[in-house]
Structure 1
C-alpha cells in the first residue's frame, strides 16, 4: 500500500456504513410483520369512501343498462317491430 495512514483513516468510515446497513436491515425485519398484518387488515376491511365508490359504480352501471334498454326499445318501436313488453308511444318517466 502506498499510504497505510489513509487506509486506517477510511476504516471507521466504512464500518459506519456496515453498521448502518445492518441496523436498517434489523429495523426492516422487525417492522415487516407489522406491515404484513396492516396490509391484511386493510385488504379485509372496506372504508366508507370505498363502499360509496363501489355503490356509485353499481348505480352508474344500472343507469347505463336502463338507457341501453330504452334506446333498444325506441329503435324497435321506430322500426315497427316492438316486443309485447315495449310501451311504444308512451313517454317513460
Structure 2
C-alpha cells in the first residue's frame, strides 16, 4: 500500500487508495514549498511509523526528486536530541 504526495507551490495533496476495499482518501494541506510540482509515493507503513515516532506536530519533509530518498525531521527537536529519518520513495501505481 502506498501514499501519494502531490506537491506544488504551498500546497500538498496526500492521497491513498485501498484497492482491496475499493476506497480512497485525499487531503489537502498547506505547506511551504518552492520548486517544480512533484508527485512522489511512499509506503504507507513506513510513513506511519516515522510520524508516530516524531513527537512534534509539525515535520519537515526534504524532497529532492521522486526517485531519491527524502529526509524527515521534526520542526523542533527535544533538548539533547537530534532526530533525522530517511524515507525511500516507491514507484507510483497508475
TM range (shorter): under 0.3
| TM norm structure 1 | 0.18
Q: Determine which structure has greater relative contact order: mean sequence separation of CA pairs < 8 Å that are 6+ residues apart, divided by chain length.
A: 2
- Structure that is richer in helix per residue: 1
| TM norm structure 2 | 0.18
